[in-house]
Amino acid sequence: MGYDNLLSPTQVADLPLKHRVVMSAMTRTRNDPITESPRELNVLYYTQRATDGGLLISEGAAPCAMGRGYIRAPGVYTEAHLEGWKLVTDAVHSKGGFIFCQLMHAGRVSHSSLLPDNQLPIAPSAVKLDGLVHIKDGAKVPYETPRALETHELPGVVADFTNAAKNAISCGFDGIELHAGNGYLLQEFLAKPTNLRTDQYGGSVENRCRFVLEVVDACVEAIGSKKVGIKFQQGVTFSGLLETEEDSFLQMAYLGPELEKRNLAYVCQSSLNGDPYYKMSKLTKPNFEADPYRFFRSHYKGTLMINGGLSPEKAEEYVADGTADLVAFGVLFLANANLPALLASGQVLDLASGWKVQLWYGKNPADDPVGYTDWPLVDAVISTIKSAATAVKETVVGA
Ligand SMILES: Cc1cc2nc3c(=O)[nH]c(=O)nc-3n(C[C@H](O)[C@H](O)[C@H](O)COP(=O)(O)O)c2cc1C
In a domain, 4, yes or no: no
Q: Is 63 in the pocket of ligand 1 (CB under 6 A)?
A: no
State residue 277's pLDDT score.
56
State residue 385's pLDDT score.
45
Which CATH number covers residue 216?
A: 3.20.20.70
In a domain, 70, yes or no: yes
Tens of pLDDT, residue by residue over 26-59, are: 999 999 989 999 999 999 999 999 999 999 999 9
State residue 378's pLDDT score.
63
Which residues are CB-neighbours of 329 under 8 A, at least 6 positions away? 21, 22, 23, 24, 307, 310, 312, 315, 339
Yes or no: say if 66 and 122 are a contact pair by the CB < 8 Å rule: yes
Q: For residues 58 and 362, what is the distance between their CA atoms, to the nearest angstrom?
A: 16
Max mean pLDDT among 101-105, 308-312, 346-350, 392-396 falls in 101-105
Tens of pLDDT, residue by residue over 70-110, are: 999 999 999 999 999 999 999 999 999 999 999 999 999 99
Q: Is 307 in the pocket of ligand 1 (CB under 6 A)?
A: yes
State residue 389's pLDDT score.
44
Alpha helices in the chain (DSSP H): 40-49, 79-94, 154-170, 185-190, 205-223, 245-262, 292-297, 312-320, 331-335, 339-345, 378-398
In a domain, 5, yes or no: no
Q: For residues 216 and 177, what is the distance between their CA atoms, to the nearest angstrom?
A: 10
Q: How many domains does the chain have?
A: 1
CB burial readout 296-322, b (16+ within 10 A) else e: bbebbebbbbbbbbbbbebbbbbbeee
State residue 289's pLDDT score.
81
Q: Which atom of ligand 1 is nearest to the CA of 231?
A: 11
State residue 398's pLDDT score.
30
Tens of pLDDT, residue by residue over 200-218, are: 999 999 999 999 999 999 9
Q: For residues 181 and 165, what is the distance between their CA atoms, to the nearest angstrom?
A: 18
Q: Beta strand 10-12 with 15-17: parallel, antiparallel or unpaired?
A: antiparallel
Q: For residues 119 and 66, what is the distance between their CA atoms, to the nearest angstrom?
A: 8
In a domain, 1, yes or no: no
* Residue 144 confidence (pLDDT) above 70: yes
In a domain, 209, yes or no: yes
**Mean pLDDT of all residues belonging to the chain:** 90
Domain range spanning residue 43? Answer: 10-398
Tens of pLDDT, residue by residue over 227-271, are: 999 999 988 767 777 788 889 999 999 999 999 999 999 999 998
DSSP label of 184: S
In a domain, 50, yes or no: yes
CB atoms near residue 373 (< 10 Å): 20
Q: Helices 79-94 and 40-49 sit at what angle, rounded to 10 degrees?
A: 30
Yes or no: say if 264 and 257 are a contact pair by the CB < 8 Å rule: no
Q: Is 187 in the pocket of ligand 1 (CB under 6 A)?
A: no
In a domain, 74, yes or no: yes
Tens of pLDDT, residue by residue over 270-326, are: 987 655 455 555 555 666 888 999 999 999 999 999 998 888 999 999 999 999 999
Q: Which atom of ligand 1 is nearest to the CA of 354?
A: 31
State residue 36's pLDDT score.
94
Nearest to 332 by CA among 312, 306, 303, 316: 312
In a domain, 119, yes or no: yes
Ligand 1 mutation pick, 27, 102, 372, 375, max ligand atoms within 8 A of CB:
27
